[in-house]
Chain A
Amino acid sequence: DAKTTQPNSMESNEEEPVHLPCNHSTISGTDYIHWYRQLPSQGPEYVIHGLTSNVNNRMASLAIAEDRKSSTLILHRATLRDAAVYYCILRDVGNNNDMRFGAGTRLTVKP
């Protein structure tokens, strides 16, 4: 399975944008890029996903590099509630039964 690499931790100030990077240099042409986050003492929750084009939803934006070897999750205005572990995950058509979560990036938001 294609592997993702994320920084262990990041810090942000409240109401500032946050860019969370993910490297996936071995991504295949059929891999979708998913982002989930896990707030303290909760199960993970879906944030966004994409294949090739940049994506926007009410929670965040996903910027995908042209070669697809990296992507960036963008939180436009961080709030204290956005403090969580953010996971970048690849899913492909041949292995769609599970999601391989790595260690993720722990985001701290300072007031």
Chain B
Amino acid sequence: GAGVSQSPSNKVTEKGKDVELRCDPISGHTALYWYRQSLGQGLEFLIYFQGNSAPDKSGLPSDRFSAERTGGSVSTLTIQRTQQEDSAVYLCASSSRAGGPADTQYFGPGTRLTVL
């Protein structure tokens, strides 16, 4: 079946512009995660959605970052007034279980964001 998809695959923007990144999770998966990965680094957790519960925003680096998940499916990560340090690959993952330490996450291919 279809995996997690993300769009666009690449985004180049100018400093100060807003960007929106989209994630389509695996159908039926209730949990959705956003991470970012700077060049040569490990993944950094950003935000987590589980069903209709309030999202866990504890990883968002600043108030310029926000995310929403409509209808418990598609999610959009928005970065306002982008800065050069926002340049990274933004990864989305979904899982079918309600979180939990044995949960397996399925990752999308990521969106490479470059802020000039």
Contacts and interface: CB of A to CB of B under 8 A. Distances in A.
Q: How large is the interface on A (under 10, 10 to 19, 20 to 34, 35 or more residues)?
A: 20 to 34
B52 to A, nearest CB: 16
B42 A45 contact: no
B25 interface: no
B42 A103 contact: yes
B29 to A, nearest CB: 13
A66 interface: no
Interface string A35-62: 0000001111110010100000000000
Interface stretch (A9-17, A71-79, A90-98): A90-98
Nearest to A94: B101
Interface residues of B, number: 27
Contacts of B103: 91, 96
Given A96-B99, A102-B42, A43 B48 contact: no
Nearest to A46: B104
Contacts of A92: 101
Contacts of A87: 42
B42 A91 contact: no
A16 B105 CA distance: 29
Interface of A: 30-32, 41-46, 49, 51, 87, 91-93, 96-104
* Ranked 7 nearest A-B pairs via Cβ: A43-B107, A98-B45, A101-B42, A101-B43, A91-B101, A32-B101, A97-B48
21 contacts: A30-B101, A32-B102, A43-B4, A43-B110, A44-B43, A44-B91, A44-B93, A44-B107, A45-B106, A45-B107, A46-B104, A46-B105, A49-B102, A91-B102, A92-B101, A96-B101, A98-B33, A98-B59, A101-B42, A101-B44, A102-B42
